[in-house]
Structure 1
Amino acid sequence: MSPRPELPGSNEGEPTRAVGRAARRRARRRPPPLPQRDGLDAARWQVPPSTPRGVTALAALVERFPALADPAAAPLQKRFAGGEIVDARGRAWEADDIVRTGDELWFHREVREEHVPEIALRILHRDEHLLVLDKPHDIATIPRGEHVLGSALVRLRRETGIETLVPLHRLDRRTAGVLAFGIRPEERSAYQQLFARAEVHKEYEARVLPGASASLPSGLGRSSVMRDHVVKHHGQLRAQVLEEEPNAESALEILEIEDDGVLRVGLCPRTGRTHQLRVQLASRGAPILGEDLFWPVERAAPPVRVWPEGLPLQLLARRLAFRDPLTGARRDFRSAQTLGELGSASRTLSP
């Protein structure tokens, strides 16, 4: 899609003050009482006001994290006895200590055996402030659920030795493309605020298969703007579009008309809702090829020549551009990946 004539940004004085405030706030914070382990930060849980009086540390943790009592895990009582559960100052909790509202319990999660795909992580850019990754498909941004050691964050921390590395934004696990990480904790807020204020120009590409009633533009080079009310409730896997005031906006342009009715489209999201592009396209009758969440149940699977075995989600974060809040320089990062290539994992429409 056509680049904006001017990347958003402000004078250098304002970002400098913002970075200074963020640095002072971080300096006042007590450092974590437990160090990283294998690229993973220690987990922190603060006892909520809803916790009944007289509850022990062991009982409170099991209530909040039932997996800690899994027979396959190390006995929690033994972990308490070994001093592995500590408070915010690093003092060990006893299993039968009574917890109160606001108390903090820190511990390392136990990492189960996990298959880590043998896919190289291509770094597009690295300097003293930023590390930019060209993330492959089916790699989680941060450790979550079954994807912990194989997440981009953990792998990069272990491969680069940069313990302070933190993602400045997120990409779905299924989505490939440009993903930026901050290196210095005192600068992180300044970069993250660019995303919060929608001052980052983002371009995506997708390959979609419109149905008979699809409501996308019909000609090469044609464009439109998708405006919807997109919500995703906690605990639900899928986002959805509701008939309410729009809170999500994305520009769309037809870049290529392929065989079998497949369209390659350019997308510029102007907001950042979870699964925004995926649900907006699906709600218009044009789901993305490789889709496992938003492919309509009433639609038959496409032919193999359109959706071959092993095809990853055909969504790519092509470009990320912004004015650096620290230096004032223009940053412009582009993915080298190509949609249509087969991935390392199979995705089908069947359960």
Structure 2
Amino acid sequence: MGHQAEANARVPLPIRNGVSPSYLWITETLAGGMLRFLNARFPDIAGPSWLDRMARGEVVDAQGTPLAPDSHVRSGMRIWYYRELIDETPIPFKEQILFQDEHLLVVDKPHFLPMIPTGRFLHETLLVRLKHKLALPHLTPIHRLDRETAGVVIFSHNLDTRGRYQSMFQKRVVRKVYEALASPIPERECPFTYRSRMVDGDKFFVMKEEEGEPNSETLVEQIERRGDLVRYRLHPHTGRKHQLRLHMASLGAPILNDAFYPVALPCKGDDFSAPLQLLARTISFEDPLTGQERSFTSERELAWPDQSA
């Protein structure tokens, strides 16, 4: 699919309802016209959809000239268009803005809401919601949370200072604290540090552990226990994909309602009844512009299940 527009590129289409235009480079000259090319390039999109977009002037070249069904397809062209989804499922949970200045936007993300447009999610993503609500055209996340995870996430909306804040995460000087609900960890006494070597799993969307030099590290603390569940405080000292979820599953205490670990379960689609009980509670760092210590904390709470039955 086409890529989201780079903030510093010349973009011939404006942001529409929070959605930035996407673009596609054409790498070969083809006969048959633009409509034929688009139908072949995007077989899952019905032909009438491209006709409608062209009629609205929403498929353009790099100069902003609207393209027609019979427009020539030439190698080296870059075409711009809006990604569209039909019948996108509303996600009935709202984000909360925790902080905003001329550089950063800090948001408390709900469970189930994806960070950025991908797959079957477009308008129902945190980035598009915020762009639409706040009219911040250069907004971009400087780190990510899984769709299933709630909590604090930081965005940049200033091109001049974005790199300074991104470098904090690259240098691993940002301190993150998570909370999770899970079973008691067998044969372990908290606090302790768990290390393992994480690699891509057999399925593209999960990770796994293997023998070898550890490349992931998590400090595990216990906050409280209620019946058969424990609330943990987790400090990831590295930032591997799904690190906390895989580490807890490997310790014999998978996070409550985790549909990926220890075993990837069938997709629940739009079932919002059992959110993953993992929360990005706090992010702290020394501001690279001012040297000031900053800390942001989620106002959400994990949901203890009723264990009285």
SS in 2 for 1:186: coil
Q: 2:287 aligns with which of 305, 324, 327?
A: 324
Equivalent position to 2:243, from 265, 276, 287: 276
SS of residue matched to 1:147: coil
Question: 1:321–1:64: structure 2 CA closer, same or farther, 3 Å change rule?
Answer: farther
2:107 to 121, 124, 133: 133
Identity within the alignment, %? 38
Distance 1:86 1:296 in 2: 45
**Greater strand fraction, Structure 1 or Structure 2:** 2
**1:1-351 to 2 correspondence within 5 Å?**
29-48=8-27, 56-69=33-46, 74-80=48-54, 82-209=56-183, 218-219=188-189, 221-231=190-200, 236-260=204-228, 262-296=229-263, 310-340=273-303
Q: CA RMSD in A?
A: 2.8
SS in 2 for 1:68: coil
Partners of 1:161 and 1:97 in 2: CA distance: 33
Deviation, 1:84, is: 2.1
Q: Which amino acid aligns with 1:109?
A: R
Distance (Å, rounded) in 2 between the aligned partners of 1:297 and 1:162: 37
Alignment partners' CA distance in 2, 1:329 and 1:183: 19
Taking structure 1 as the reference length, what is the TM-score of the superposition? Answer: 0.74
Aligned amino acid, residue 340 of structure 1? A
Following the alignment from structure 1 to structure 2, what is the Cα–Cα distance between the partners of residues 244 and 148?
Answer: 39
Amino acid at match of 1:65: F
User: What is the CA distance between 1:315 and its match in structure 2?
Assistant: 0.4
Tell me how far apart the structure 2 counterparts of residues 120 and 41 of structure 1 sit (CA, whole Å): 21
Give the secondary structure class of the aligned counterpart of 1:76.
helix
* Structure 1 counterpart of 2:38, one-letter code: L
- Deviation at 1:297? 7.5
Deviation at 1:289, TM superposition (A): 0.3
Structure 1's 30 and 231: CA in aligned 2 closer, same or farther, altered over 3 A? same
2:191·2:219 contact (CA, 8 Å) conserved in 1? Answer: no
Specify the code of the residue in structure 2 equivalent to 1:41.
Answer: S
- Deviation, 1:285, is 2.1
Structure 1 unaligned segments of length 5 or more: list them.
Answer: 1-25, 299-308, 343-351
**TM-score of the superposed pair, with normalisation by structure 2:** 0.83
Q: Deviations over 1:153-181 (max 9, x none)?
A: 12222222223221111111110110111
Pair 150,53 (structure 1): closer, same or farther in 2 beyond 3 Å: closer
Q: Deviations over 1:213-243 (max 9, x none)?
A: x6x6633x4212322223258x823222233
Aligned residue-pair number: 294
1:217–1:224 contact (8 Å) kept in structure 2: no
Gaps of 5+ in 2: 1-5, 266-271
CA distance in 2, matches of 1:288, 1:40: 33
SS in 2 for 1:228: strand
SS in 1 for 2:45: helix
* Structure 2 CA distance for aligned equivalents of residues 297 and 146 of structure 1: 20
Secondary structure class of the residue paired with 2:217: strand
Task: Identify the residue that residue 346 of structure 1 maps to in structure 2.
Answer: none
8 Å contact kept, 2:174–2:283: yes
Give the secondary structure class of the aligned counterpart of 1:111. Answer: coil
Q: Distance in 2 between matches of 1:277 and 1:192?
A: 22
Q: Which deviates more, 280-289 or 315-324?
A: 280-289
Q: Indicate conservation of the 8 Å contact 1:217/1:223, yes or no.
A: no
Q: Output the CA distance in 2 between the equivalents of 1:242 and 1:202.
A: 25
1:252-292 deviation per Cα after TM superposition (whole angstroms, max 9, x unaligned): 223333312x2222212222222221122223322110111
Q: Secondary structure at the match of 1:267?
A: strand
| Helix, strand or coil at the partner of 1:328 | coil
- Cα distance, 1:317 vs. partner? 0.3
Higher relative contact order structure (alpha carbons within 8 Å, sequence separation ≥ 6) = 1
